[in-house]
Structure 1
Amino acid sequence: MSITTTTHLNFHGDARAALEFYQSVFGGQVTIATYGDFGMPQDAPGATNVVFGQVETEAGFRVMAYDIPGEAGGLATASRPAGSTRRENGVTLTDQSFFVSVRGDTLDEVQGYWAALSAGASVVEPLAASAWSPGFGMLTDAFGVTWILDVAAAYTA
């Protein structure tokens, strides 16, 4: 028996842009189906929004996304402020309920993802060597998703 866990991100009208951005960062195939594809009249508000979206790579990266029905306006509005994550006095403080973690085998691999993912991002913790990894960093991307990137450390028993 096996199990696969996939992060499913919820957006407010910008799922398509986020999925296309994540494909530009990680590669792979993007799949997008809209509410209109599933029967909503094409001229209805929200018909072009994403009801099912996914980016998947041969290397094993996978993320899913959709646009919450009836929600529009992108990341944040007065009634729906964006979450925040920050470092203070050596600890991470956040009001977000999850982070997305990406672990690579080499520092070069992770640095490539970091460079692409950090476009328009707010860096929480710069990518650098840490006590547990040759490379660890945290950022919140332009879509409000907080990512942890690190290099798999070689453990010895």
Structure 2
Amino acid sequence: MTVITTPHLNFRGTAKGALDFYHSVFGGQLVAVTNEQAYSAEIPEEAQQIKFGQVIGENGFQVMAYDVPASVPYDQGDKSLFVSVRGDSVDEISELWGKLAVGSTILADLAPSMFSPAYGMLKDAFGVVWVLDVAVAYDPS
């Protein structure tokens, strides 16, 4: 049996834009089902909002997202979630960083750190905080 952990991001009316952006960065398959398509629009203004969405990249990247209905309390909070993307090389992470950084606020520049040859943190235009780094074996010494 295999278990996969996938970040599920919650938005208020911007899930489609976020999914489109993440698809442009990571590629792969994009699924975006609206409330109208799922026959679950509580109010007409929410018909085109996302009921179920996901991006599944060919490289193993996965993220899910939806729009929280107006009838449900929602507060994205400040850094309530980090999405961590770990790669095998500086080149791989640098390429993804360059794409994610468009329209984002850089919280920590992508640079070598004491635990990785490349580490960086940014907050994208949708309020999601991303941590990107090169995964290396832990050395407790």
TM-score under structure 1 length normalisation: 0.80
* 1:91-149 C-alpha deviation (Å, 9 max, x unpaired): xxxx4222000001010010010000011111110000011100000000010000000
The equivalent of 2:114 in structure 1 is 131
Q: Work out whether residues 11 and 76 of structure 2, in 8 Å CA contact, stay in contact via their aligned partners in 1.
A: no
Task: Give the counterpart letter for 2:53 in structure 1.
Answer: G
* 1:25-61 C-alpha deviation (Å, 9 max, x unpaired): 11111001010001146x9110010000000012110
| CA-based RMSD | 2.0
User: What displacement does 1:4 show?
Assistant: 1.0
The equivalent of 1:86 in structure 2 is none
The equivalent of 1:99 in structure 2 is 82
* 1:46-80 C-alpha deviation (Å, 9 max, x unpaired): 00100000000121100000001127xxxxxxxx8
The equivalent of 2:37 in structure 1 is 37
SS in 1 for 2:44: coil
Task: Give the counterpart letter for 1:22 in structure 2.
Answer: Y
Q: Work out whether residues 16 and 49 of structure 2, in 8 Å CA contact, stay in contact via their aligned partners in 1.
A: yes
In 2, distance between residues paired with 1:155 and 1:40? 47
Change (3 A) 1:97 1:40: closer
Task: Give the counterpart letter for 2:20 in structure 1.
Answer: E
TM-score under structure 2 length normalisation: 0.89
Q: List gaps (5 residues or longer) in structure 1.
A: 72-79, 84-94
User: What displacement does 1:2 show?
Assistant: 2.1
The equivalent of 1:74 in structure 2 is none
The equivalent of 1:8 in structure 2 is 8
Runs of 4+ in 1 over 2 A off after TM superposition: 80-83, 154-157
